Every structure is written in structure tokens, then in C-alpha cells.
Amino acid sequence: MMSRTLIIIVTTLVGAGWAAAEEAVTMETCAVCHDEVAAAFASGAHGRAMQRADPAVLAGSCVACHGPAAEHVDDPNTENIVRRPGQDACLSCHPGLQGLTDTATAAHVRNAVACGDCHGSGHQALATDHLLLEPSHELCAGCHASVAGSFRMPFAHRDGTRPFECSSCHSVHGLGRLGSLTMIGSGGACLDCHADKTGPFVYPHPPQQLDGCVTCHAPHGSPNPRLLTRNRVAALCIECHTNVPRFHDLSSARYQSCQTCHAAVHGSNRDPALFEE
């Protein structure tokens, strides 16, 4: 009976010793071999945020992502450690983003776009926001080549010669009002900059209410002034206004510039025919 009790006590102490050994594996432990990697992480965006939140979180950050490391400390090799953490490691700290991202960017889900495809791990010295591997307009262009090409059109959404960052209008994680990557409707992303077109108007132009700005404007770039989807205003208007009055002889130049008379193309507070603002 005594020997059995002794075995239980010894087993318990050994188990506690292993648990203590695991708890003792901190960033300082890992830095013995991985000094440059640990230093880069601690001074990077991830490390600084953890330090502000709780220094203990930073100390345990290596095992939080790379898994239990006591065995690796005793026998360093690539088989007893999670060398490249997967998406689950990211979601352990960012748990709310998975469902929002899946809803907002279903195409990303279908194409198995993972956190590490866009974001660095925190060990690299990245000069971008949110640990992006590149500025967003360059990063997104890797997959969205046709959209990136649109910014080289004669008329495009550019800040000088540089395209606006994609995140100015799009939120790939589904956060906030732009979560669905939409630019349609009277509250779309376009109106954040073009507030004078917001309204509400007494007499709104219906396309803005139904399909939004993209009914008439190309959102990224166009060969036409004002990012219009057609090279002539009359050609654009007649796509919806097929029942023009008989006296509008569209073969005459006089009637081929609709906005000369219907100047309030986004909406009017005075005239249902949009003659005046």
C-alpha cells in the first residue's frame, strides 16, 4: 500500500515538473537559439501590442503560436514544433474575424486565401499597416490584375500617379460599413469622398438609389472623363431613358449632351426633370 502511494506521489511530482517546464518556455527561452527572430518579433507590431496589453502575453507568445515547446527545448528539430503556424494560430487572438471575412469575401474563401498570404507573421520588419506583406494596392494586384490595370487608364482613382490604397474603399475582413466591399446605394464608399453627391434630394436620380454610383461610373479607372462607363453622355443616358420625347432628335448635336439641360445628374431639390440642383 505504501509503495503504491509513493508511485502516485512520484508520478504527480514528475507530471507537475513537466508542466512547470512547459510553462517555463518563454520568449527568453526561445531567444537562446532564435535571438534575432525573437528580437524582431518583440520590436514589431505584434510584439509591441502584446507588451502594451500584458508583458506576460508577450513572454508566452512563442508557444502560443508554435505550440508546446518543452520537447523542442530538449531536442531541437523541426518535427517536435509547429514551424509555420496555420490560420488557427491567428484566430486564437483574432477570433471574431473568421465569420466576418467568410461573409465579406467569399471568393477569398473559395480560393483558400489564408492570413499568411497577405499578412506577415510579425517577425519581419514591415513598414506597412496591419503587417501587410506589401502596400495594399500592390498586394491586391497579385490576384486582381485586371483591376490593377484599370488604374493605368487615362482617368482613374489615383493620388497623383499612385493608386489609392484598396483598403480606402474595401474592407476584406468585413469590418464596418464597407464590410461587404460594396460601393452601391446612397451610403456607398464613394460618398465618403464625394459628399456633395450624397443628398438626400427631393428629386433623386433613381440609379443612385438602386445600383449606386457604379451604374454610370467605373470605380477603378476608365478611358472616359469622370470615370464614365460610356464615351458619350447621351449613349450612357439612353441605356435607361429609352422613352425620350420626340423633339429630342438624338441625331442633332444639340440633344447629344444631356447634362447641358439636365444638369442635376445626381439629384435635385427643385426640379423633377433634374434641370436644376
Q: Which pLDDT band holds residue 136 (cuts at 50, 70, 90)?
A: confident
Distance of alpha carbon 202 from alpha carbon 191, whole angstroms: 18
pLDDT higher than threshold 60 for residue 22:
no
pLDDT higher than threshold 90 for residue 221:
yes
pLDDT confidence of residue 145: 92
Which letter does DSSP use for residue 119 in this model?
Answer: B
pLDDT confidence of residue 71: 92
pLDDT higher than threshold 60 for residue 204:
yes
Note the pLDDT tens digit of each residue in 31-66: 999 999 999 999 888 888 888 888 888 888 899 899
Place of cell 493608386: 163
Element (H, E) at 24: none
Element (H, E) at 11: helix 2-23
For the CA atoms of 256, 257, 261, 266, the dihedral, rounded to the nearest 10 degrees, stands at 120
Domain boundaries, the chain: 2-80, 90-178, 190-268
Q: What is the DSSP string of 208-253?
A: HHHT-GGGTB-SSEESSGGGBSSSSHHHHHTTT-----TT--TTSG
Show Cβ contacts of residue 241 under 8 Å, excluding neighbours closer than 6 positions: none
Quick one: what percent of the chain has pLDDT higher than 70? 87
> Greater confidence, 263 or 164?
263
Could you tell me the three cell numbers for 177? 460599413
Q: Which pLDDT band holds residue 18 (cuts at 50, 70, 90)?
A: very low
Task: Judge whether 59 and 51 are in contact, CB under 8 Å.
Answer: no
Q: Which pLDDT band holds residue 167 (cuts at 50, 70, 90)?
A: confident
Q: Where are the alpha helices (DSSP H) in 24-125?
A: 27-31, 35-43, 45-53, 55-59, 61-66, 70-74, 87-93, 97-104, 106-110, 115-118
Distance of alpha carbon 63 from alpha carbon 81, whole angstroms: 9
Specify which residues 228 forms β-bridges with.
217
Taking Cα atoms as reference points, which of 81, 43, 79 lies closest to residue 64? 81
pLDDT higher than threshold 80 for residue 104:
no
